[in-house]
Amino acid sequence: MKRILFLLASLSLGIVLFIFVVRFIGWNNFILAFQSFTGVNGLAILGLTFLMMLVAILRWQQIIESQGCQISIAALIKPFLVAHSVNYLMPTVPFGSEIVRGYILKEKTNFPGNIAISSAFIDRILEITAHVIMAFLGIVYFLLKIGMPPRNLAIILGGGFLLALIPISLFYFKSFKKESLVKFFIKRSERNIILNVEEEIFNFFNVRKMFFWKGLIVAFLKDIVSLLRTFFAIVFLGKSLGFFSAFSIFSFSTLTQFFPIPAALGSLEIIQIFVFGKLGLSAGTATAFTMIVRGAELFFAFLGLFVFLSFGVKLLKKLLLNNNKNV
């Protein structure tokens, strides 16, 4: 119940922020965004978004193979889309996308539960690692170029960055020392399952093993494709920026992913209005950019939601058939 209330509160905050932006910017800029998201331009943004996900799926496949299991990329598309949907639309649910992804993978394959679930967590940790490093580099460049932002915004940005930096730093510290993070927070009856998952995760994060570095490289490759999407979205809006300016915009977009607000509603607009303004672009361009990027992400999020619902129906039928057999 608390998680549902937190999700509703987070969504409400996002809606309030979004309405504030709409009243400040006006609807004309939203029309501009939709015009830019049609035809060849729209297909290009969708194509780059799909390429981002394909690279991420390849990373997940490499992780699973490093754990001694073989699986095709095609078999990973549906569980990945579902995880994207949960992570994008319900970011307030702790580890929700990883658990759902691992569960669906286990149901669709003969993989052991600890392999299926740990692979999803490993994939997410690699992604956050790349996000933190890329966001840090881009934001440092931006601050060196324009100076410190207003105090309130600096607190928000710093808080968002720390939300990602502190947990990921703690994880790497503990994983390199092989010290459990979870055994003090779980019941003894659940320890075998969860500790097996944690052991698989710790085994992967070994700097002496090549598959760790391969996974990290592919994680950065996904962010590079995301950076290209940022660059082309700005070009499609009729603007031109240098590489490092586009990198700054990408970095702040990445930072908003750490805020527990569904689809970064409102928060992405407010931050990018500030960033675009400092780079000499209008608030309207910033809002149009956020709508274009969010539109591409929502397309695949709703596709994942459809897959999730269809999987739920199949699972329900399976359970009912098993119950009828036992009667």
Q: 159: which 2 tokens? A: 């808080």
Both tokens of 156, joined, read 């928000």
Looking at residue 89, its pLDDT comes to 84
Q: What is the number of other CB atoms lying within 10 angstroms of the CB of residue 146?
A: 14
Nearest alpha carbon to residue 246 among 259, 232, 256? 232
Q: Considering the chain, what is the average pLDDT of its residues?
A: 81
Q: Can you list the alpha helix ranges (DSSP code H) found in the chain?
A: 2-25, 28-36, 39-66, 73-89, 96-108, 113-146, 151-177, 191-204, 210-236, 243-256, 267-278, 283-326
- Residue 13: is its pLDDT beyond 60? no
Q: Residues 149-167: pLDDT tens digits?
A: 777 767 777 777 787 788 8
pLDDT for 324: 43
> Cα angle vertex 90, ends 89, 91, to 5°?
105
DSSP state of 95: T
What residue segments make up the domains of the chain, in order of their start?
A: 2-319
Confidence of residue 326 (pLDDT cuts 50, 70, 90): very low
Exposure pattern of 25-47 as b/e (b: 16+ CB <10 Å)?
beeebbebbeebbeeebbebbbe
Task: Read off the tokens for 253.
Answer: 């977009």
Q: Quote the CA–CA distance of 165 and 295 in Å, as a whole number.
A: 28
Q: What is the pLDDT of residues 120-143, one digit of tens each?
A: 999 999 999 999 999 889 888 888
- Model confidence at 190: pLDDT above 80: no
| Cα–Cα distance for residue pair 61/10, rounded to 1 Å | 33
Q: What is the pLDDT of residue 27?
A: 59
Least confident of 22-31, 35-44, 97-106: 22-31
The single-letter code of the amino acid at 268 is L
Q: Are 292 and 45 in contact (CB under 8 A)?
A: yes
User: Predicted confidence band at 103 (pLDDT cuts at 50, 70, 90)?
Assistant: confident
